[in-house]
Amino acid sequence: MIDEKKPQDSSVVIKSRKEISVSGIKSILGFGEDYVLLDTECGKLEIEGEGMRIDGLSKEEGLANIKGHINSLYYHRQKLSKGLFSPKSK
């Protein structure tokens, strides 16, 4: 039997728009005072806000705790390979 690697779960918990906990993190792709960009098991997650800072991080467990005033968060669409029959990006 082939041993297939199952993707881990990823979760996001927001507390009063001041703190966000994220699990299932593969890596931190970027961060600044107004955003944090994470690569998670469910795709790239961008968190936007003000005074953003990474307060806790566990690479081994794939967990991060981020504090600041959270304005929005969203997952980026996955990029499709470009080719003759690929859909046009909007």
17 lies in some domain? yes
Q: Following DSSP, what letter does each residue of 7-53 receive, concatenated?
A: PPP-EEEEETTTEEEEESEEEEEEEETTEEEEEETTEEEEEEEEEEE
Q: How many folded domains does the chain comprise?
A: 1
Kindly state whether residue 88 falls inside one of the protein's structural domains: no
**pTM of the full predicted structure?**
0.76
Tens of pLDDT, residues 12-41: 999 999 999 999 999 999 999 999 999 999
**Which residue segment(s) compose the domain that 67 sits in?**
11-75
Report residue 4 CA to chain centroid gap: 24
Residue 51 has pLDDT above 50, yes or no: yes
Q: Rounded distance, CA 70 to CA 18, Å?
A: 6
Rounded to whole angstroms, how far apart are CA atoms 58 and 28? 11
Find where tokens 């806790």 sit: 56
